[in-house]
């Protein structure tokens, strides 16, 4: 390709490669030699500089020629903003080879070795006594959790299976049903009340994550916290769900 005079100090171009299926938009100094430019392209396309052949295309994808003079400056070629420089790899690599991360060996470190390092988030938290490494804060959180559990247990003990009840959850209208389960669950900590609603206003059929706690029709079952449940003489209400 014919070398021309110097232009603006920098240029924004698109980089494509015979090894990749994507394009990258990059900005380079026109004062780079083609040899220096190839070295920078190694980080973009993954091809060794010694195995590169560079082709220049205009913004309209018209082929302008090759950047084939190693000691010439990038700016001495007709490289303008929006042009595309296509890298042809002659190393023998295959298309997409550098995009397949499944072949990349993963770095692994044991918990013991990780604990010995001083430049990790874990070591910083230990030194600063943050999160689970703050014994005083952790003890307070555990005490508060134990207190909440005791309060939930006390409330749950006053609710009997088979009792009629009304559930009042924030942002929802009162829902009536029958208590079907009282106790701990596998899906979340704490005490829960399983309710079979009078109408299909629930979320399940009495089972959660494959474990059954009670029997009911789909969408009639729900699990709520004891504080939301009031036990009493609550007759069934007509929600009008069968009306046209």
pLDDT in 10s for each residue of the chain, 244 residues: 545 544 679 999 999 999 888 889 999 999 999 999 999 999 898 889 999 999 999 999 999 999 999 999 999 999 999 999 999 999 887 766 655 566 667 778 888 888 888 888 888 888 887 877 788 778 888 889 899 999 999 999 999 999 999 999 998 899 999 999 999 999 999 999 999 999 999 999 999 999 999 999 999 999 999 999 999 999 987 655 554 4
Length of the chain: 244
pTM assigned to the model? 0.47
**Taking the CA atoms of the chain, what radius of gyration do you get in angstroms?**
34
Q: Which long-range contacts (CB under 8 A, 24 or more apart) does 147-151 make?
A: 148/190, 149/189, 149/190, 149/191
Do 53 and 66 form a contact (C-beta atoms < 8 A)?
Answer: yes
* The pair of three-digit structure tokens given for residue 195, joined into one six-digit string: 């309710």
Locate all alpha helices (DSSP H) within the chain, ordered by sequence: 34-45, 111-116, 121-128, 135-157
Tell me the C-alpha distance between 193 and 188, whole Å.
12
* Residue-level pLDDT at 236: 83
Tell me the C-alpha distance between 227 and 154, whole Å.
10
Domains of the chain: 10-97 (3.10.20.90), 104-134 (no CATH), 164-231 (2.30.30.190)
Tell me the C-alpha distance between 97 and 103, whole Å.
9
CA nearest neighbour of 26 among 39, 15, 37, 38: 15
Q: Which residues contact 67 (CB under 8 A, 6 or more apart)?
A: 1, 34, 37, 54, 55, 56, 74, 77, 85
């Amino acid at each position: 390709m014919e070398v021309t005079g110097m232009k603006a100090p920098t240029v924004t171009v698109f980089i494509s490669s015979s090894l990749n299926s994507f394009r990258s938009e990059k900005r380079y100094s026109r004062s780079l030699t083609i040899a220096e430019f190839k070295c920078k392209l190694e980080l973009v396309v993954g091809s060794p500089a010694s195995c590169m052949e560079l082709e220049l295309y205009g913004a309209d994808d018209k082929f302008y020629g090759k950047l084939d003079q190693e000691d010439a400056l990038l700016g001495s070629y007709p490289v303008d903003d929006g042009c595309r420089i296509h890298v042809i790899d002659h190393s023998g690599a295959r298309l997409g080879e550098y995009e397949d991360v499944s072949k990349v060996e993963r770095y692994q470190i044991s918990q013991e070795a990780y604990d010995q390092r001083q430049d990790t988030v874990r070591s910083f938290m230990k030194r600063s006594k943050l999160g689970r490494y703050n014994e005083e804060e952790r003890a307070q959180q555990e005490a508060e959790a134990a207190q909440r559990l005791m309060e939930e247990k006390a409330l749950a003990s006053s609710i009997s299976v088979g009792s009629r009840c009304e559930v009042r959850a924030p942002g929802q209208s009162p829902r009536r049903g029958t208590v079907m389960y009282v106790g701990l669950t596998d899906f979340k900590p704490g005490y829960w009340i399983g309710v079979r609603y009078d109408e299909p206003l629930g979320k399940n059929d009495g089972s959660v994550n494959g474990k059954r706690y009670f029997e009911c029709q789909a969408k009639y079952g729900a699990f709520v916290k004891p504080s939301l449940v009031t036990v009493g003489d609550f007759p069934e209400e007509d929600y009008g769900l069968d009306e046209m």
